[in-house]
Structure 1
Amino acid sequence: MDDSAFHVAAGAFEHLSPLRFVSFTFPNPLPNPRNPYGHPLRVAVLDSPFPGPSRPRVAAVLVPLGREDDWIFSTVSGHLQLLSSSSNDDDDDDPFSRLVLVGGVPSPSSSSSPKPYIRPLFGSDPDATLLQQSLLPLLLALCPKSAFTREEIPHVPFLSFDDGVLRIAPVETLVGPVVGEMLVEDVAVDRSPEPPELRRRLRFKRMPNLVQTQVRLVPDPATSTPLSSPSEFGPCRPEAESLVQPYLGPMVAGFSLIASAIEERASTGLRPRALCIGVGGGALLMSLRTQFGFDVVGVEADEIVVSVARQHFGLVEDESLQVLVGDGIQMVNSSRKGKQEGPLGGPSCFDAIIVDLDSQDAMNGVSAPPMEILERCFLLAAKSVLNAKGVLIVNVIPSNGSFYKELTESFREVFSELYELDVGNGENFVIFAMVSPVGTATTESTGTVYEKLSEVLGRRLLDGIRKI
């Protein structure tokens, strides 16, 4: 063994240490002809931030070939999210206490931005299976002492990773004052048996496993237009109003609960108004304006994200779509009844407030919304900004069952009724908090608004809303 390759002290992994992260290189045990990962391997070990069972469990992930530089596998935050999601997806009641990543060595830090990627043509790589088998002695050496018993050595499973991405073409890496480093990338997504779909995505380095926003890319020979960004997939442009993000359609479905109120406003010549806290690429804002006739105000904390939405995702502002830069939660709080009118206007300004914010905390894995949304002062302020038949719509990715229960209980103390829609991806729920009672989710079954929702989203999605 090359002494420069392995500098971890003997016994370093005998005990768990919350949030400890150690990475090192290790000789690849496979001979060169059967070695797709090269020499040496990078091994990264992360201990869970949370207390585990008395007999801890360890799991491993083999980094997909060619994705060594992806933030999902090359950063501590990505590793932490993998650990959290692996524990949540596992059938065993006990979460994993330690996760080991094994793969190729990432590029030097001076050039560590994500690289282009093409998934290998082979489906199941036999050499990867051989590598997993040859790594078992190392993985056992990385298990804590308490994982062993007199009768049994620990089982260290290799967990699979498949996000359906066939190809990645980085477009631009930027740094925002609030969200930090971010990546715009074009991807080809597997939709078998249908052809792959081309999409443009935005991810943040602080939470790389979470796609912040994505839209379809469609062919566009007129590459000189400002909405067309260079793409390795050929002349393409973003379909700005496409609701590709899994939970955006379900969020819009909530307007079926206030369809009659929207119809009533329209009969007096007033356009419905929506406040979107969290802009991302702007797909939701564009869809609400162009497909549903809303006046939309978006609030985004990071000015660079807004610039990215304009340049790379096709966001266009006009008299019906305005984007403000700032803290959306604070803006709502400042607009509460009895206080000086804030940047959003006075009380009862909106038919809907839509919150699409992640928790910004990789320690809890991919989760949403931030805890501030649960505070009574925000909920009261949001209710005051909504009109009498308005709705607060929130994208929820529960970090655990207790968080979801706490969220619904907090909302129930302020709002008249709560409705829920399971997005169906095993991750997201959408909560609809009503200022006034609706009755049942199927009450609003007629009128042009409901018909338009059915046309764009499908009746099945609307029928999935249930009262809680």
Structure 2
Amino acid sequence: MALDVRIFENISPSRFVSFTIPNPNSPPFHLLRIAVLDSPVHSTDSSSSPRAVAAILVPKHRESDWIFSTESGHLQLLLNLPDISRLFLIGNDPGDGYRFPAVYHRPTGENDDESERLEMRMKPFVVALSPKTLTRDEIDDVPFLIYDDNVVSSVELERSVGPFVGEMLIEDVEIEIDDGVREFRRRLRFKRMPNLVQSDIKIIPTSSSSLTRTEFNLDLTELVHPYLVPMVASLSLIDDSQSDDKFKSRPKALCIGVGGGGLLSFLRIQLGFEVTGVEIDPEVLRIARQYFGLEESFARVHVEDGIEFLKRCSSSCGDDAKFDALMVDLDSTDPIHGMTAPPVEFVAKDVLLAARTLLVPSGVFVINVIPPNKTFYKELQDKFRDVFTELYEIDVGNGENFVLIATVSPRGLKSGFNRENLTPAVSEKFLDAIRRI
């Protein structure tokens, strides 16, 4: 069935079209996949003069990566380009039944000429499928973008499907963390938000430095996910001055949301906490244990909805089940609005009251927050103030995450839980960044 190009004459918010054409750079029968997405937030305000069209050349050998092969991945790329109303993705057609390659290596500079030839040959095609509202100058200035991230190479370990989170990918990657400095990581990604890394840990090669020709040891002594270190720094607000025994017994932490389990393992191994976890998806828990080093001896994990656990335990678990820290790492995701944290239902007043009930008087409630806007963040703070005594904040510094810390009772910043012991584990800058709000 022929494609009616007239459908591209105007922007149609959220319209997604995918088709194949012969690849002009390759021998006969090789195809290009063209995916076209119109922004769901397209503005009709002519005064804003948005650039209407852009194209991204899909990296070679990553054509089946969810970032480029799913509508949700395409949408997240588009939403990161706020002035673009229509985004084309152009790459080799992965073909029916083709899976994400087991091994990926970043192409070398020798492929630049091929990309330039493809751009030159595809630009008239992109212009022909651009909205008719574009001016001649805008048509001549249609940008071709080359997607670039810090992944040098990757190898797929497993794909799995969880009853709650859906399809997941576990992969080992080599990343460039600085100019000339590389590191190996193990990552967990969810198909529902493929552009985001859900969990990652550092892995250490035992012999060679190749992903495919060596074994790896897991490094559970260092947190590499950007907001986990600030969450650990929040433990300095546990007020040990209120405890007669000065934590002679193990301090207790309750973690809602396990993911790869890096935080739970760290709390047990590095800080000596007695750790309880709550994870709604049993498949995520299996992955955490099989691939991310979470051992049963590190944490007792309940497979249960976090809200239901808090309400149930607050009414029936008794004083022996109280915790020094309650740490929450839950998100709410959809392709259009991206990731926000926490889910709004988690900060309902009855849930926060149940959480407070489970904390000792010196305890802290620590939560990762990704606010979609300032109004959401302010309302979230007000909800915590209605239930808890004091509220503190750490700006993670990545333009996305904040850590909120709510206390059951008043305390001063100068008397905290093992600040000296925390220093080797977290940066002084995060300990010093804690501020009362």
Q: TM-score, normalised by structure 1?
A: 0.83
CA deviations on 1:217-263 (whole Å, 9 max, x unpaired) are: 12347xxxxxxxx96240112223431111111110101122535x8
Partner of 1:325: 303
Q: Which runs of 5+ in 1 are unaligned?
A: 88-94, 222-229
CA deviations on 1:25-69 (whole Å, 9 max, x unpaired) are: 13344x459x9xx94221111223335343453332221121101
Where do 1:237-316 residues align within 5 Å? 237-258=217-238, 260-261=240-241, 264=243, 267=246, 269-316=248-295
Equivalent AA in structure 1 for residue 220 of structure 2: A
CA deviations on 1:301-351 (whole Å, 9 max, x unpaired) are: 111111111111111122x62011111122113334xxx416xx5697112
The verdict on how the C-alpha distance between 1:97 and 1:193 changes in structure 2, with shifts beyond 3 A counting, is closer
Partner of 2:428: 459
Rounded to whole Å, the distance in 1 between the matches of 2:410 and 2:184 is 42
Deviation for aligned residue 1:459: 1.2
Rounded to whole Å, the distance in 2 between the matches of 1:20 and 1:418 is 43
Where do 1:201-212 residues align within 5 Å? 201-212=187-198
Partner of 2:313: 335
CA deviations on 1:343-387 (whole Å, 9 max, x unpaired) are: xx5697112211112213222123322222332222222222222
Structure with the larger strand share: 2
Contact 1:390 1:434 in 2 (8 A): yes
The verdict on how the C-alpha distance between 1:42 and 1:267 changes in structure 2, with shifts beyond 3 A counting, is same
The verdict on how the C-alpha distance between 1:47 and 1:374 changes in structure 2, with shifts beyond 3 A counting, is farther
Contact 1:203 1:211 in 2 (8 A): yes
Partner of 1:187: 173
Q: Which runs of 5+ in 2 are unaligned?
A: none
Corresponding residue SS for 2:5: coil
Deviation for aligned residue 1:279: 0.7
CA deviations on 1:262-313 (whole Å, 9 max, x unpaired) are: x836526332111111111111001101111111111111111111111111
The verdict on how the C-alpha distance between 1:406 and 1:32 changes in structure 2, with shifts beyond 3 A counting, is same
Rounded to whole Å, the distance in 2 between the matches of 1:133 and 1:347 is 69
Partner of 2:108: 121
Where do 1:77-116 residues align within 5 Å? 77-87=72-82, 95-108=83-96, 110-116=97-103
Partner of 2:45: 54
Count how many residue pairs are aligned between Structure 1 and Structure 2: 431
Rounded to whole Å, the distance in 1 between the matches of 2:132 and 2:386 is 48
Equivalent AA in structure 1 for residue 130 of structure 2: C
Deviation for aligned residue 1:178: 1.2
Deviation for aligned residue 1:420: 2.0
Contact 1:70 1:115 in 2 (8 A): no
Rounded to whole Å, the distance in 1 between the matches of 2:80 and 2:117 is 26
Where do 1:4-23 residues align within 5 Å? 7-23=2-18
Contact 2:188 2:260 in 1 (8 A): yes
Partner of 1:219: 205
The verdict on how the C-alpha distance between 1:118 and 1:54 changes in structure 2, with shifts beyond 3 A counting, is same
Where do 1:133-212 residues align within 5 Å? 133-146=120-133, 148-149=134-135, 153=139, 155-212=141-198
Q: Say what the alpha-carbon RMSD is for the aligned residues.
A: 2.9
Partner of 2:22: 27
Partner of 2:66: 71
Identity %: 49
